Amino acid sequence: MQKIKQILFLNTLLFIGLICHAQDLHFSQFFNAPLLTNPANTGFISDADYRLGVNYRNQWSSILTSPYKTMSAWGDAQLFRNKFENAWMGIGGAILSDVAGSGGLKSNKFYGSVAYHQMLGNSSLLSAGFNLGYVSKRIDPTAFKFPDQFNGKFFDATIAPGVTFTNLNIDYFDLQVGLNYAYFPQENIYINAGYSIHHVNTPKETFFGDNTDAGKIPMRHIGFVNALLKVHPRVIINPNIYFTTQTNAIELTVGMNANYNLTEFGESQLIAGLYHRYKDAIIPVIGFETKKTAFTFSYDGTISNLSKFNNFRGGIELSIVRKGFYPGGEDRQTMCPRF
C-alpha cells in the first residue's frame, strides 16, 4: 500500500506539471550552470578566456525504479578583447536533456547566447546578454499510471484513463535576457550580482491542444549575489545567494563553497561547501580541481514533506567545468582572487 501511495503521489506531481505551468530544468549547483542561470554570464569569466561544462542530475532514485535524470553540456568564450576599448563580447551555447521517470515525459532544449561586457573604470564590470532557445518535448501516455486505472488491487492498463492528450509532441522558441554587475576593488575581493528574466516571450506549452491562453509559461525571475574572498593564502571562500520566482513558486538557496590550495600555485584545489534550499533541502558539496578542471559532487538531503516518501534522500548531482586561456592569455590580469 505504501508503494502504491508513492506511485500515485509521484504520478500526480508529474501530471500536475503537464496540465499546469511547466517546471524549468533545475540544478542545485546553479553556480556551475552559469548560462542557465543568466545569459549575461556568457563570457562573464573572471579568471579565464573560455570554459566548458557538463552537469548531471539524478533524483528520486530512492522511490522510483526509473529516476528523473537531467543532463546538460554547455560552453562559452570571450571574443574581441582586442577590438573594443575595455570591453568584449561573450558567445556560448547549452544543450539540455531531461527524462521524467519511466520516460513518460522527455525534454530537449538547445540555447545560443550572446552578451556584451563593459569595464566601468578599473574596478567594475557591467554586462548584458540574451539567449534564444528551441525546446522540444515528447510525452508517452502508456508510461503513466492514472488514479482512475487503480482497481483496488493494481493498476489495470485496460481501463482507459479519463485524460485525452491532443498533442504528443510540442515545440517552441524560448527567450531569456539578463544583466550582471561585478565589483573588484582589490585583488582579494570580488563581488558579483545578477538579474535575469526567463521565458520573456511566454511560450505556450500544452499537450491538450487548448486554443486559449492556458498553458503559457509565465516569466521566471532569477536574482543572485555571490563573492570570491581570499581569506588566507591557501583559502578562497565563495558565498552565494540565489533567488527565483515564477507565479506563486519561490525558491531561495543560500550557502558557501571554499577552495583550499593543495599546491604552490593552485594547480590542485580541494572544494567543499554547504547550501540550504529553504524548506526543501540541505545540500553538501565536495569536489576537486586540478589544472583548471573542477569536478564537483553534491547531494540533496530532502527536508520538505517529500521526505515522508523518500526518507530524506533526494538527488545526486555532478558537474565538470574546464577553464582555459587563449595562447598568451595566461598573462592577462584576472579580476578575481587566485592562488
DSSP type of residue 150: B
Q: Which domain holds residue 315?
A: 2-331
Write the CATH number for 212: 2.40.160.40
337 domain residue, yes or no: no
Condensed to tens digits (0 to 9), the pLDDT of residues 184-223 reads: 999 899 999 999 999 999 998 887 766 666 778 999 999 9
Nearest partner of 310 among 59, 38, 142, judged by Cα:
59
336 domain residue, yes or no: no
Gap between the Cα atoms of 163 and 19, Å rounded: 11
Reported confidence tier of residue 63, pLDDT bands at 50, 70, 90: low
Condensed to tens digits (0 to 9), the pLDDT of residues 71-118 reads: 999 999 999 988 888 899 999 999 999 887 665 788 999 999 999 999
167 domain residue, yes or no: yes
CB 273 within 8 A of CB 254: no
- Give the least confident one: 28-42, 89-103, 271-285: 89-103
DSSP type of residue 11: H
Number of compact structural domains in the chain: 1
CA distances from 186 to 15, 90, 334 (A): 51, 24, 11
Gap between the Cα atoms of 249 and 220, Å rounded: 10
Gap between the Cα atoms of 69 and 67, Å rounded: 6
Give 23-55 as a DSSP string. PPP--S-GGG-HHHH-GGGTT--TT-SEEEEEE
338 domain residue, yes or no: no
339 domain residue, yes or no: no
Prediction pTM value: 0.84
Condensed to tens digits (0 to 9), the pLDDT of residues 133-155 reads: 999 998 877 766 767 666 666 66
